[in-house]
Chain A
Amino acid sequence: MILRTDHVAGGVAIAAGLLVWAISGDLPVGRLSMPGAGMLPKLVCGLMIFFGLLLVLRGRDSAPLATVSWNDLRHAGPVCAFTALAVAFYTTLGFIITFSLLLFGLLCLERRNPIAAAAYSVGVSTATYFLFSVVLKSPLEPGLLGF
């Protein structure tokens, strides 16, 4: 049997539905005349499992898993990792330092000239900080150094 995208998607949906159902144990379903907090989540879990099964059963109409291109993972993975690092250090380092580093890291990833990348990163981060925090009065994280 050829493993297809809908087989995987359906399988994940069934697993997710079962997992959420399992962790919903302490939520009261209530009665039909007085539904509890667990009624809709369990109803929706049931629907997820049902539609997941439908996907698995009708999976032969979908593309084989082997034909899915993962070439962009080389771009997505590092971008995701850099962004996660930025989010993790955002409240500690503050806006300007965090985003200067994030922009610089991403531009280095794109093999841009390091000096131009550094100038762009610091310039854009500083300008954005002043645009949002001073002009638009939108709160940005000051961090330990105050900016």
Chain B
Amino acid sequence: MESTFDALFLGFSVAFRPDVLWYAFLGCLVGTLVGVLPGIGPLSGISILLPVTYGLDATKAIIMLAGIYYGSQYGGSTTSILMRIPGEASSVMTCIDGYAMARKGRAGAALCIAAVGSWIAGTFGVVMLTLIAPPLAAFALKFGPPEYTALLVLGLIFLAYMSSTSLPRTLLMAAVGLLLGTIGIDNMTGHFRYSFDIAELGDGIGIVPVAVGLFGLGEILSTPSASVVGEVITPKLRDLLPTRQEWRQSAMPIARGSVLGFLIGLTPGSAHIISSFLSYAVERRFSKHPEEFGKGAVAGVAGPESANNAASTGAFVPMLALGLPTGPITAVLIAALMIHGVPPGPTLVNDHPDIFWGFVASMYVGNLMLLALNLPLVGIFVNVLRIPYAYLYPLVIMFCVIGVYAVNNSIVDVWIMLIMGVLGYFLRKFSLDPAPLVLGLVISPTFEMSLRQSLIMSNGDWLIFFQRPIALVLIGIAAALLTLSAVAVLRRRADWRAKLAQVEAGEGG
């Protein structure tokens, strides 16, 4: 424990450097704007700004990009409360009671509770990250190729199990991602695969064009400007403070949301969305006045907003400790680290302590910055919402092209982005979630390498995955999840995932 605090002290010495503080602030500011603006999610925000970080060192780059991620969770609540439009998907539940509070003249109080809840949950998440990630990384050093193969299989199955769409749909999308990940030169044999004599495809398909296309451009194609209208309620600064009763009503939902969100954040899938949905359900169950939900219940704002922030921090644990992306956003962050020559995973803590602990410490500081940004400056952010969408989306398309082109100076990447944008549009039409595709693409090289190495190690014996204890446990959990999903399918019972799908469909519509 003492060594953890020593290391954290090292992290703060990095995080408090003026240049690092500046990039953390920049990330938080951009993240808040990304969260506020409907149609631009944290993934597209991070992907678009990824090339801007090339000139920075790895520490500043990852601190800025992570700031965009958790900053967007704060910003997402603003549009939900003031316009009943979720700035991003994890704020869907906040729309219900947040907007109802705003209609009652309590917009300021709702924003304050959302910001304070987000800060408490975010800080709780960072404390847990500080305590859990290093021992988990030490444990992961025992992993060989069979364990990594089993872990990646479990990750995919877990993602499919947690997904709001059905298991075959999620696994189908993951398979498409895995297939896209095989494009390019095979690292073990040097064979060109599916490159069709296009030299740029020799290096494979990058995650940035795929992610920006599917999530950024795809979202714009699916959102006609006529559909983005809304009345903005502008809160007054003096109305920002909640009453004593509102504080009391929000205390326990914030605490429950923080714990629930962090635990869900550790698992693969759209954790920040799922956590806010579950938190809302839990608060309604615990409430003495469940009839108030939907009509401006304080707990309906405090719980989900805390949960989605804690989940976004929780997602950093497997990313930093195992090098395992639990969603497309952490996948892009992993790509950002790799671009700077820093391999994420168990060795990160020991090989690059300044990056690891600087990143962790910056999140303590970043959460404070966000609290300061999101309360007094809420009026300024609200003004951004007055920019007509017809002027905004051409700008976003331009930034998508700039971002993708800057990665490799390759126009082929921009064409890939455009193709992925069209694919993303059609995937939405057929209710297919693009997130597993991105995840499949990211893990594909590691999965293929570890699978082939395992088979070579065992001289072609598949039983190697059942003979090593850690791999056996991981495969066992994956099998149990598959069985649970199969039972749900056979019984044709609508569980919480089906309800989540309904909420997401409602958002889309």
| Chain A residues at the B interface, C-beta cutoff of 8 Å | 5-6, 8-9, 13, 16, 20, 23-24, 27-28, 31-41, 44-45, 47-48, 51-52, 54-55, 58, 61-63, 68, 70-72, 74-76, 79-80, 83-84, 86-87, 90-91, 99, 102-103, 106-107, 110, 112, 120, 124-125, 128, 132, 136-141
What residues of A have a CB within 8 angstroms of the CB of B51 in the complex? 138
Other contacts beyond A63-B431, A90-B405, A141-B405: 18, CB < 8 A = A5-B430, A27-B193, A33-B455, A37-B191, A40-B182, A40-B444, A41-B179, A44-B182, A51-B175, A68-B430, A70-B429, A80-B418, A80-B421, A99-B398, A107-B390, A110-B225, A136-B52, A138-B406
Asked if A9 and B430 sit within 8 Å, CB to CB, the answer is: yes
The 7 A-B pairs of least Cβ separation, nearest first, read A32-B460, A33-B460, A75-B224, A37-B191, A51-B172, A37-B186, A110-B390
Tell whether A45 pairs with B179 under 8 Å between CB atoms, given A33-B460, A72-B224, A83-B217. Answer: yes
Query: Nearest A residue to B183 by beta-carbon distance?
Result: A41
13 contacts between A and B (CB under 8 A): A9-B172, A34-B456, A36-B191, A40-B447, A55-B172, A75-B225, A79-B220, A79-B393, A87-B418, A102-B398, A103-B398, A106-B397, A107-B394
What residues of A have a CB within 8 angstroms of the CB of B188 in the complex? 37
Please count the residue pairs between chain A and chain B whose beta carbons lie under 8 angstroms apart in the complex.
169
Query: Nearest A residue to B54 by beta-carbon distance?
Result: A138
| Chain B residues at the A interface, C-beta cutoff of 8 Å | 51-52, 54-55, 166, 168-169, 171-172, 175-176, 178-179, 182, 186, 188-189, 191, 193-194, 217, 220-225, 227, 390-391, 393-395, 397-398, 401-402, 405-406, 409, 411, 414-415, 418, 421-422, 425, 429-432, 444, 447-448, 451-452, 455-456, 459-462, 489
Asked if B414 and A90 sit within 8 Å, CB to CB, the answer is: yes
Asked if A39 and B418 sit within 8 Å, CB to CB, the answer is: no
Asked if B168 and A54 sit within 8 Å, CB to CB, the answer is: yes
How far apart are A102's CB and chain B's nearest CB, in angstroms? 7
How far apart are A86's CB and chain B's nearest CB, in angstroms? 7
Query: Nearest B residue to A57 by beta-carbon distance?
Result: B168
Asked if A20 and B168 sit within 8 Å, CB to CB, the answer is: no
Which of A35, A75, A99, A125 meets B221, CB within 8 Å?
A75
Q: A51 to B221, alpha carbons, bound, how many Å?
A: 27
Asked if A5 and B172 sit within 8 Å, CB to CB, the answer is: no
How far apart are A141's CB and chain B's nearest CB, in angstroms? 7
Q: A120 to B171, alpha carbons, bound, how many Å?
A: 44
Q: A35 to B290, alpha carbons, bound, how many Å?
A: 58
How far apart are A92's CB and chain B's nearest CB, in angstroms? 10
What residues of B have a CB within 8 angstroms of the CB of A139 in the complex? 406, 409
Asked if B168 and A140 sit within 8 Å, CB to CB, the answer is: no
What residues of A have a CB within 8 angstroms of the CB of B397 in the complex? 79, 83, 102, 106
Q: A124 to B462, alpha carbons, bound, how many Å?
A: 58
How far apart are B203's CB and chain A's nearest CB, in angstroms? 16
Asked if B390 and A48 sit within 8 Å, CB to CB, the answer is: no
Asked if B179 and A103 sit within 8 Å, CB to CB, the answer is: no
Asked if A41 and B193 sit within 8 Å, CB to CB, the answer is: yes
What residues of B have a CB within 8 angstroms of the CB of A136 in the complex? 52, 55
Q: A84 to B414, alpha carbons, bound, how many Å?
A: 9
How far apart are B188's CB and chain A's nearest CB, in angstroms? 7
Which of B178, B409, B422, B459 meets A40, CB within 8 Å?
B178
How far apart are B135's CB and chain A's nearest CB, in angstroms? 33
Asked if B168 and A58 sit within 8 Å, CB to CB, the answer is: yes
Query: Nearest B residue to A76 by beta-carbon distance?
Result: B221
What residues of B have a CB within 8 angstroms of the CB of A63 in the complex? 431
Tell whether A47 pairs with B175 under 8 Å between CB atoms, given A86-B401, A138-B52. Answer: yes
Asked if A37 and B402 sit within 8 Å, CB to CB, the answer is: no
What residues of B have a CB within 8 angstroms of the CB of A70 in the complex? 429
What residues of B have a CB within 8 angstroms of the CB of A90 in the complex? 401, 405, 411, 414
How far apart are A66's CB and chain B's nearest CB, in angstroms? 13
Q: A72 to B456, alpha carbons, bound, how many Å?
A: 51
Q: A45 to B194, alpha carbons, bound, how many Å?
A: 13
Asked if A84 and B175 sit within 8 Å, CB to CB, the answer is: no
Asked if A37 and B193 sit within 8 Å, CB to CB, the answer is: yes
How far apart are B215's CB and chain A's nearest CB, in angstroms? 15
Which of A23, A75, A128 meets B398, CB within 8 Å?
A128
Asked if B393 and A48 sit within 8 Å, CB to CB, the answer is: no
Tell whether A13 pairs with B448 under 8 Å between CB atoms, given A36-B189, A83-B397. Answer: no
Q: A47 to B172, alpha carbons, bound, how many Å?
A: 7
What residues of A have a CB within 8 angstroms of the CB of B227 in the complex? 72
What residues of A have a CB within 8 angstroms of the CB of B414 in the complex? 87, 90
Which of A13, A23, A35, A80 meets B194, CB within 8 Å?
A23
What residues of B have a CB within 8 angstroms of the CB of A128 in the complex? 398, 402
Asked if B390 and A83 sit within 8 Å, CB to CB, the answer is: no
Q: A125 to B406, alpha carbons, bound, how many Å?
A: 16
Q: A107 to B217, alpha carbons, bound, how many Å?
A: 17
Query: Nearest B residue to A35 by beta-carbon distance?
Result: B452
Q: A16 to B10, alpha carbons, bound, how many Å?
A: 51
What residues of A have a CB within 8 angstroms of the CB of B444 in the complex? 40
Q: A70 to B222, alpha carbons, bound, how many Å?
A: 10
Q: A28 to B189, alpha carbons, bound, how many Å?
A: 10
Which of A9, A20, A33, A37 meets B456, CB within 8 Å?
A33
